[in-house]
């Protein structure tokens, strides 16, 4: 049952109860006046020696009216009780409906809150996405800068130019510069030959002993 229907039927019931209460009070008033009439008639009867046919008829008439009023009063009372009960039922229905409405209202609030939270989260995710995008852009920029720094295909790498002749031991991977006008070199050379006696010693260009150890440098370090 919708709220409007319940409210309308409650108003109708209240009007009915009010009109019945009015009828009841009217009937009670009539009953009171009937009682007064009966009392008066009783007095008159006590005064009179004999009762006329008219008197008896009037008494009977008043009696039956009195009884009729009593019945009406009883009926009205019953109806008022019944209507009051119905009114209570309707009020209970109204109360339950109100409870339902308030619980629905709170549910609606909860849903609104959830939606707000979801929106906030979506915004945050969007912000993170933007940050990630920015960082990816930066990475791409750095990568392109790096690739510019790398020597392009086909360009010549700066080459170390190895010059000069050396004596090198193939077995030990060691070499020594040959400087014919340097007496110190001559001493080192003799030592080198002695150290690598029985090994294969060759005279080659410096460029051919890549990866070999320069004995002179070792000597210098000491
Ligand atoms: Zn050697």
Q: Would you state the pLDDT for residue 169?
A: 96
Give me the mean pLDDT over the 65-81 stretch: 85
> Residue 201's domain spans which residues?
165-221
Residues 116 and 170 in one domain: no
What DSSP line would sit under 115-176, residue for residue?
HHHHHHHHHHHHHHHHHHHHHHHHHHHHHHHHHHHSPPTTSPPP-----SEEEEETTTTEEE
Is 77 a residue whose pLDDT tops 90? no
CA of 206 to the centre of ligand 1 (A): 17
Q: Would you state the pLDDT for residue 221?
A: 46
* pLDDT confidence tier of residue 222, bands split at 50, 70 and 90: very low
Q: Would you state the pLDDT for residue 71?
A: 87
Is 160 a residue whose pLDDT tops 60? no
- Half-sphere exposure for 27 (CA within 13 Å, toward CB): 19
From CA 40, how far away is CA 172, in angstroms rounded?
158
**CATH number of domain containing 71:** 1.20.120
Provide, rounded to the nearest whole percent, the portion of the chain with pLDDT above 70: 89
Residues 93 and 26 in one domain: yes
CA of 193 to the centre of ligand 1 (A): 8
Residues 110 and 178 in one domain: no
Q: Residue 194: how many CB atoms within 10 A of its CB? A: 8
Number of H helices, E strands in the chain: 4, 4
CA distances from 192 to 1, 34, 177, 216 (A): 115, 158, 11, 10
CA of 136 to the centre of ligand 1 (A): 55
Residues 12 and 111 in one domain: yes
Residues 97 and 193 in one domain: no
Domain membership of residue 125 (yes or no) is: no
Residues 17 and 90 in one domain: yes
Name which of 203, 205, 204, 211 is nearest 174 in CA terms.
211
From CA 33, how far away is CA 62, in angstroms rounded?
11
CA of 216 to the centre of ligand 1 (A): 15
Residues 20 and 109 in one domain: yes
* pLDDT confidence tier of residue 153, bands split at 50, 70 and 90: low
Domain membership of residue 79 (yes or no) is: yes
Name which of 81, 62, 65, 91 is nearest 20 in CA terms.
81
Q: Would you state the pLDDT for residue 159?
A: 54
* pLDDT confidence tier of residue 201, bands split at 50, 70 and 90: very high
Mean pLDDT of the chain: 82
Domain membership of residue 176 (yes or no) is: yes
CA of 63 to the centre of ligand 1 (A): 156
| DSSP 8-state secondary structure symbol assigned to residue 10 | H
CA of 222 to the centre of ligand 1 (A): 20
Domain membership of residue 143 (yes or no) is: no
Domain membership of residue 152 (yes or no) is: no
Instruction: Please answer whether residues 25 and 77 qualify as being in contact, where contact means their C-beta atoms are separated by less than 8 angstroms.
Output: no
CA of 181 to the centre of ligand 1 (A): 24
Is 220 a residue whose pLDDT tops 60? no
Domain end (from 87, 120, 153): 120
Number of domains in the chain: 2
Is 163 a residue whose pLDDT tops 80? no
Q: Would you state the pLDDT for residue 166?
A: 93
Residues 105 and 197 in one domain: no
Residues 33 and 115 in one domain: yes
Between 40 and 48, the more confident residue is 40
The tens digit of pLDDT for each residue in 120-135 reads 888 888 888 888 888 8
CA of 92 to the centre of ligand 1 (A): 113
CA of 14 to the centre of ligand 1 (A): 125
CA of 214 to the centre of ligand 1 (A): 12
Is the model's pTM score more than 0.85? no
């Amino acid at each position: 049952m919708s709220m409007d229907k319940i409210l309308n039927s409650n108003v109708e019931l209240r009007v009915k109860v009010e009109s019945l209460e009015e009828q009841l009070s009217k009937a009670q008033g009539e009953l009171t006046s009937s009682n007064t009439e009966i009392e008066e008639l009783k007095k008159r009867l006590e005064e009179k020696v004999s009762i006329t046919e008219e008197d008896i008829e009037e008494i009977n008439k008043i009696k039956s009216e009195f009884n009729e009023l009593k019945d009406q009063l009883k009926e009205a009372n019953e109806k008022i009780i019944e209507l009051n009960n119905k009114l209570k039922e309707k009020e209970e229905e109204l109360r339950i409906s109100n409870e339902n409405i308030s619980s629905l209202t709170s549910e609606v609030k909860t849903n609104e809150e959830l939606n707000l939270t979801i929106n906030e989260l979506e915004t945050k995710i969007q912000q993170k996405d933007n940050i990630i995008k920015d960082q990816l852009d930066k990475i791409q920029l750095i990568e392109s800068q790096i690739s510019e720094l790398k020597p392009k295909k086909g360009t010549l790498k700066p080459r170390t130019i190895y010059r000069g002749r050396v004596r090198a031991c193939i077995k030990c991977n060691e070499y020594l510069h040959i400087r014919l006008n340097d007496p110190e070199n001559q001493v080192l050379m003799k030592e080198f030959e002695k150290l690598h006696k029985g090994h294969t010693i060759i005279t080659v260009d410096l460029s051919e002993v890549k990866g070999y150890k320069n004995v002179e440098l070792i000597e210098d370090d000491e």
